[in-house]
Chain A
Amino acid sequence: MTTTRRIAGAAWTIARKDALAELRGKHAATSTLFFAALVLLLFGFALGPDSRKLAEAAPGLLWLAIVFAGLLTVARLHQVETDDDALEQLALYPVDRRAIYAGKVISGLVAMLVLGGVLLVAVAILYGMDLAPALPALVAILLLGALGFAAVGTFYAGVTVRMGAREVMLPLLVLPIVAPLLLAAVKATGAAIAGDPSGELGAWLQLLIGFDIVMLVAGAGTYGFLLEDV
């Protein structure tokens, strides 16, 4: 079996285990979803009932809600490894460290795609917007944005998982790094919803792709060091 197949197999095993644990402990995932929907609702209240203002702010509000809820998601996916010191056991299996990182990124990606999908519907309902014409582009943006966030979030969740103040440290470390991703995702979402009148959507998607590649390569190359001396 080739190294790539071994890594893919182990990553799939880890992602499958995380998905099963998430489904079984669904109260945690559900509360994250409600938290994100609540963020959208409160932003809506803060901006007032002006539907034009809400539509203009919608891309930013959507991605802020995804990022806030994403922080909780990646933290939870690592938290499950600290119960009964499962992280040490995971680190002692004879598998490539990149497989463990990849597995956790896949888990984070899937959870965030579900989250993002629900939030897109919530935006359409709460802010009275018709997102159907832009749906293919929005799905692509969500996929790229969620992947980039999962790549960064997984790495820093690994950094902070054993810290006492991890709830504070994780946002402090992740948010500055994902600023370019947030900017590109918000701009791309805005362009997609508006029908891309100035033809900028492609450039923002390229930035998202570049961000994802850099962060995935960096994360896969360095995550293994976080498992040393666990």
Chain B
Amino acid sequence: MPQTTIYRSPRSLGLQDSPPPAVDTVELARLFGRSPALAGVSLRVEPGSVVALVGPNGAGKTTLLRVLATAIRPTFGTAAVDGLDVASYPDQVRSRVAYLSHTTGLYDDLTARENLGFAARLLGVEAGEREERMTAALEEVRMADAADLRVRGFSAGMRKRVALARILLAAPSLVLLDEPHAALDPDGMALVDRMLDAWRGVGVTVLLASHAVERIAHLVDGTVRLDGGLVAQVDGTGVASGLFSPPRTAPAMVGAGR
């Protein structure tokens, strides 16, 4: 099995004592018009944990990830990444978070390598390291052979692989993945599984939304079930304050590490 290359964040290297929770939301609500996609989620994820968000369509999984990625702002309540409020310090949060959304955000007229080069520059990867990292990331997602082809001709699975390679360029402390296994073939799914393991190995926190509950069960430390924009259930090792914690009483403690 190929070795997954993950670049380690300073925190994952243990350079900071008693770090704050990787994710800390308090009464987090997000409305679209009058419809609440999140209706008061209080959640705390410990650093280095791999936590799954599960639940039916419209439960609020994607909205929660987008708030944490700073793509959208909370309507009420607070959300913090590594102790940094997402609304007050969005720039600092962005430099710590890598986000894979439903869409891949690639440019059709650029090749896979050019897309990664663009991302690497904006992510601040040093010029001397750029080519090496891009090559390693493309090899990791098994896209080295298609590196110099334009993305326009790629299948959904190939685009997803390039988007995953983009995450490998960064050195995030928090990785947010929205349906990471979707559109991938079995080899691609195994790749995501390896990446999750590798992130855990270096202490990067991962929060992933998924409908593939059985597939991810053995890959995660904790599971948060959302329903109707609220935390319905919390499972997993290191759960504090009981297995289930209503969102309007106390933060649900999940993924306190294995």
Bound pair (A, B):
yes
Using a CB–CB cutoff of 8 Å, the interface residues on chain A facing chain B are 9-10, 13-14, 17, 20-21, 24-25, 80, 83-86, 88-96, 228-230
Question: Number of A-B pairs whose CB atoms are under 8 Å?
Answer: 72
In the bound assembly, the distance between CA atoms of A89 and B107 in angstroms comes to 11
Q: Which residue of A lies closest to B114 (CB)?
A: A20
In the bound assembly, the distance between CA atoms of A17 and B91 in angstroms comes to 22
In the complex, are the beta carbons of A84 and B105 less than 8 A apart? yes
Q: What are some 19 contacts across the A-B interface (CB < 8 A)?
A: A20-B109, A80-B107, A83-B107, A83-B108, A84-B105, A84-B107, A84-B108, A85-B103, A86-B107, A88-B71, A89-B101, A92-B97, A93-B94, A93-B122, A93-B123, A94-B123, A94-B124, A229-B71, A229-B73
| CB of A29, distance to nearest CB on chain B (Å) | 12
In the complex, are the beta carbons of B109 and A21 less than 8 A apart? yes
In the bound assembly, the distance between CA atoms of A25 and B124 in angstroms comes to 27
In the complex, are the beta carbons of B109 and A25 less than 8 A apart? yes
Q: Which residue of A lies closest to B99 (CB)?
A: A92
The size class of the interface chain B forms with chain A is 20 to 34
User: Which residues does chain A contribute within 8 Å of B94, judged by CB atoms?
Assistant: 92-94
Using a CB–CB cutoff of 8 Å, the interface residues on chain B facing chain A are 69-73, 91, 94-95, 97, 99, 101, 103-110, 114, 118-119, 121-124, 150, 159
In the bound assembly, the distance between CA atoms of A21 and B97 in angstroms comes to 27
Q: Looking at chain A's contact residues, is the secondary structure mostly helix, strand, loop, or mixed? A: helix
Of B70, B107, B114, B118, which one neighbours A92 at CB under 8 angstroms?
A: B70
| CB of B11, distance to nearest CB on chain A (Å) | 16
In the bound assembly, the distance between CA atoms of A13 and B122 in angstroms comes to 8
Q: Looking at chain B's contact residues, is the secondary structure mostly helix, strand, loop, or mixed? A: loop
In the bound assembly, the distance between CA atoms of A17 and B111 in angstroms comes to 11
In the complex, are the beta carbons of A90 and B105 less than 8 A apart? yes
| CB of A101, distance to nearest CB on chain B (Å) | 14
User: Which residues does chain B contribute within 8 Å of A85, judged by CB atoms?
Assistant: 101, 103, 105
In the bound assembly, the distance between CA atoms of A226 and B70 in angstroms comes to 14
In the complex, are the beta carbons of B109 and A91 less than 8 A apart? no
Given A92-B71, A94-B95, A230-B71, A21–B103 Cβ distance below 8 Å?
A: no
In the bound assembly, the distance between CA atoms of A90 and B101 in angstroms comes to 13
Q: Which residue of A lies closest to B105 (CB)?
A: A89
In the complex, are the beta carbons of B110 and A21 less than 8 A apart? yes
In the bound assembly, the distance between CA atoms of A204 and B70 in angstroms comes to 44
